[in-house]
Amino acid sequence: MPLTSLDNFHRMMRHEQPQWLPFDIQATPPIVDVVEKKKGTRNLVEAFSLDFVATHPNYQTDAGRWRRAFADIGFPLPDDVEIGFAGVTHKRPRREDVGEAYHFREMLHPLSAVTSVDQLKSLPWPDWSRTQAAAFYEGAVRDAHERGRPIVGWLECTIFEFAWYLRGMDNLFADLIDDNGIGTWLLDWFTQRSVYAVSAMAQAGVDVIGLGDDVGTQRGMMMSVEFWRQHLRPRLKRVIDAIRANQGKPVYVRYHSDGDIRAIIPDLIEIGVDILNPVQPECMPPGEVIPQYQDHLAFWGMIGTQSTMPFGTPDDVRAAVAQCAELARHGAAVIVAPTHVLEPDVPWENIEALVQAVREQRL
């Protein structure tokens, strides 16, 4: 019987001689437009025979209630905004200003107007204890496994990012330093929301749960390690503990942060992260980071979206894939993927080179 993507992925994770490099791609809508023209489908899994499918939380938003609530706290919104999950708000730029990058959005921070925890509590937050249930994910898991593919439950922007999206990053840092309760309340709310979501995903039997918050810059952490350990590590651990408490079979925990986060990799291992994403080659060289931690972590990404994919040649792309394959042959668990979504400046020739190079590698 031929090996399925699901079997091959688990072989890679168990270091049991997989046959090929598991492969994933995420792309922006302008790139998906190109894929549709070239391949006749907007489904990247079908277009490129990718190994993974995904499921996401069931976000439901009453935009009108959030608009009224923001006005009540002193942040009336323009008419032309998009209000998403938990009131996260974006404004769409004019198409002529962004051209092919039409997916770009300007982020607003409505909770910058908040001055007390009582104001936060009065907002129309969704009740995650009611809306998250394993039954929501079970059909997606069953469909993926029937097709022989592993399924990833996406919950990136787990705690920190949604909080600062709403409050503003400077304000959130000031809240936590001043200990005024506002930042703490927001982090706690998103932690509890994540606990509900990952518990349902784990109960449903997803193979990977993708957590993450960008906490790195390309020159190191965007906050001190001590600050991260005080405010984010214990909350992230609580979310991971909820996965372990609800899994019926082993679930791999993937953690995403862009930038150079080498300072907290030992902490991530200690609290139960299994897969590090993306290992950004512009600031975290895979050839250095992966051998150092391959006995404790798997690695997902490594193909640079700031360098190789938009500005390299097809030969550069093939060389980056070859490095991943060589690391896998030396015992690392590696899932090849661009380090972030493919943006509109990525040439089609490089996408083709990536797909071909991954499929030609045999382990």
- Judgement on whether residues 241 and 334 belong to the same structural domain of the protein: yes
Q: Which residues, at least 6 apart from 186, have a Cβ–Cβ distance to it below 8 Å?
A: 111, 120, 163, 166, 167, 172, 175
Q: pTM of the predicted model, to two decimals?
A: 0.97
**Could you tell me the CATH number of the domain that includes residue 258?**
3.20.20.210
pLDDT given for residue 246 in this prediction: 97
Same domain, yes or no: 94 and 22:
no
Residue 91: its H or E element = strand 89-91
Range of the domain at 352: 5-58+127-360
Residues 312 and 282 in one domain: yes
CA–CA dist 235, 213 (Å, integer) = 12
**Same domain assignment for residues 208 and 145:** yes
Identify which of 4, 6, 2, 44 has the alpha carbon closest to the alpha carbon of residue 208.
6
93 and 144 inside one domain: no
201 and 251 share one domain? yes
Residues 121 and 28 in one domain: no
Check: CB of residue 303 under 8 Å from CB of residue 348.
no
Q: Which of 344, 268, 362 shows the shortest CA–CA distance to 100?
A: 344
Span 247-303, pLDDT tens digits: 999 999 999 999 999 999 999 999 999 999 999 999 999 999 999 999 999 999 999
DSSP alpha helices (H): ranges in the chain?
5-13, 29-39, 44-48, 63-72, 95-98, 117-121, 128-131, 134-146, 160-167, 169-178, 182-204, 225-231, 233-246, 265-270, 286-293, 308-311, 314-329, 348-360
Q: Are 142 and 45 members of one domain?
A: yes
Q: In this structure, are 303 and 164 located in the same domain?
A: yes
pLDDT bucket at 78, cuts 50 / 70 / 90: very high
Q: Is 300 in the same domain as 255?
A: yes
Residues 338 and 303 sit within 8 Å (Cβ to Cβ): yes
Structural domains in the chain (count): 2
Of 208, 291, 198, the residue nearest 245 (C-alpha): 198
Same domain, 84 and 214: no
Distance CA 295, CA 100 (A): 42
pLDDT digits (tens, 9 = 90+) for 133-184: 899 999 999 999 999 999 999 999 999 999 999 999 999 999 999 999 999 9
**Over residues 336-350, mean pLDDT:** 98
Say whether both 140 and 46 belong to one domain: yes
Asked if pLDDT for residue 74 goes beyond 80, the answer is yes
- Whole-angstrom Cα Rg for the chain: 21
pLDDT bucket at 98, cuts 50 / 70 / 90 = confident
Kindly indicate the confidence band of residue 97, based on its pLDDT and cuts at 50, 70 and 90.
confident
Does 73 score more than 80 pLDDT? yes
Instruction: Report residue 121: phi and psi, to 5°.
Output: -65, -25
